[in-house]
Amino acid sequence: MSPSTANFATPETRSAIQKLFDDATADSLAPGYQFVVFDRESTILNSVSGYSDIPSPAEGSGSESTPSDGVKMRPDHIHWIMSASKIALSIAALIALEKGLTSNGMTINDLDNHEKLVEILPEFKLGGGSWVTKIIDGWEEGLDEQGRKIPKLRDTKTPVTLRMLFTHSTGLGIIFIPFDGSVALKKLPMMGLIDSITIPAVVEPGTTVRYGYSADWLGQWLVRSTGRNLRDLLSTYVLKPLEIPAGECDSHLREDMLKNMSGVYLRTDDPKERFKRDEYVFCSLSLALFDITLSVNDLTPYISIYYSAPRGYFTCEGAPPPGYTYQGAAPLMASTQAFSILLQAVLKHDTRLLSEKTWIFAEGDALAGTNIKIPIPRVPTAFPTLAAELETFAKPVDPAKAGTMNLLNTELALGPEAMVGPGFKVELANLAKENQHIDQGSSYHNAPSYMLWNLTHSYYMIDPINGFGYMWSSQCGPWASAEVLALRDDLEKLLYRSLAE
């Protein structure tokens, strides 16, 4: 433990952090939490609160569910880390570039080389006809012969590059069925079909950051350029070098992991059932173009069912069959304590993964010198019961130092940011480090720091200046609600005040 983070380990700070999550559980913010605080040398705090699974009221009984009848959360319970695990995919892609694993000799110097990219991903060749080189502008009159809406398409003009795949700036959104968010999905549109990510863009590539299938195509680039499947690459080059326990972190939903999987829940306003098991009603971040019909019999050897909800998640032990792929944008299931080993490796620039030079390059501003802008609102939604609209992750004091993206597929803070309401962080560079007075109404952490979270609230932050990070996970939506953002801010206030004492 470094001297600067020693205060995190005091009984007072540890107790305050535990109380923060215990209170959140008691207030029904989520059934339960895992949470870890770490620095470069050690895990400072690894704890849990609440429940991994809770019973639902008996159908038609009208009785309230009782969390105490559920399964208490343990540090080794497995969560689907979803989008928060994009950092693992990005690290694997950077390793391939640095170690020369690509079949066409691509290196980090080829981040903006469109010609090299389309050697591996011909779908992105301008004028090639693939839907990923089209922009949807709405719908034509009438339906096609299968009764589907006909998309109104035009060609993109900007060549897509590897940098855009790393930074969600290809213009691609995310498929959603139905596109208006009016009906619950009964199956994931993430069942491993490569065709399901071959959709038109919603904006011109290289103009803005748009959450969507860019990371899935980064996974496709990695798999095709190395000739190896994603599970193999992540295991060989990321997980095993860090000695992360295989039973607590994997792309394949193994039997020994299934028995430890936490349930996934959606918080409700119903006092008789505060949490419902998520049937994967997804937030609309883009437009849906078509339904995906799957033959369960054909997929049976490859599918593990995510608990009893009608949720399917494509997974297989080895290489997927033709036409299928691992979920690149959400590749890992893991416990928080296991995934934090990877985050700690990022914090300390672990050379078992990447060289110091590449780490420094990767965590910097990947959009500097480009025309790519961060949009406002940062994440729109058409389905607020599942995900709130997020105007911005934090409001910059200086608009010239607004948040950006790095090559680790994380949100990067460049300068001071002000709290203007629930959910906004304050980032004042070196304030805690310099031991200045900290206003009791604000939270602080240094720039450059970076973070990411997922739909069901696996959230992490890494502060390379003060040399620490944290992660917490709940497996409960809705995403980015004011209450959850306030929990994040309260934790950061607590940590940075402790750091400054």
Q: What is the pLDDT of residues 281-334, one digit of tens each?
A: 332 223 333 333 333 333 333 333 322 223 446 777 888 888 888 888 888 999
For residue 373, pLDDT beyond 50: yes
pLDDT confidence band for 499 (50 / 70 / 90): confident
What's the pLDDT at 303? Answer: 32
pLDDT tens digits, 405-442: 999 998 887 655 443 333 333 333 333 333 333 333 33
User: Of the ranges 107-121, 136-150, 318-332, 428-442, which one carries the lowest mean pLDDT score?
Assistant: 428-442
pLDDT band at 116 (very low <50, low <70, confident <90, very high): very high
Q: 3-class SS at 467?
A: coil
For residue 429, what pLDDT is reported?
34
Q: Which residues contact 191 (CB under 8 A, 6 or more apart)?
A: 292, 294, 299, 303, 312, 313, 314
Q: Is 168 among the domain residues?
A: yes
Higher pLDDT, 256 or 379: 256
Residue at 341: amino acid letter:
I
Q: Which residues pair with 303 in a beta bridge?
A: 314
- Paired with 479 in beta bridges are 387
Radius of gyration over alpha carbons of the chain, in Å?
22
- Report the number of distinct structural domains present in the chain: 1
> Is the pLDDT assigned to residue 177 strictly greater than 60?
no
- Does residue 422 form part of some domain? no
In a domain, 39, yes or no: no
Q: 1 pLDDT band (50/70/90 cuts)?
A: low
pLDDT band at 382, cuts 50/70/90?
low
Q: Is 40 helix (H, G, I), strand (E, B) or coil?
A: coil
Kindly report the average pLDDT of the chain as a whole number.
Answer: 78
Q: What is the pLDDT of residues 249-273, one digit of tens each?
A: 999 888 888 889 888 888 888 887 8
- The structure tokens 């090299």 sit at 116
Residue range(s) defining the domain that contains residue 132: 86-333
Q: Has residue 358 been placed in a domain?
A: no
- For residue 250, is it within any domain? yes
Evaluate the omega torsion of the peptide bond into residue 377 and state whether it is cis, within 30 degrees of 0: yes
What gap in Å lies between CA 410 and CA 461, rounded to an integer? 9
Locate 453 and state its tokens.
């979270």
Residue pair 264/476 in contact by the 8 Å Cβ criterion? yes
Average pLDDT over residues 14-27: 96
- Tally the C-alpha atoms within 13 A of residue 417's C-alpha that lie toward its C-beta: 27
Does the pLDDT value for residue 239 go beyond 80?
A: yes
Give me the helix-helix angle, 86-99 and 214-226, nearest 10°. Answer: 40
Q: Which residues contact 192 (CB under 8 A, 6 or more apart)?
A: 302, 314, 320, 324, 325, 326, 327
DSSP state string for 229-254: -HHHHHIIIIITTTT--GGGEESS--
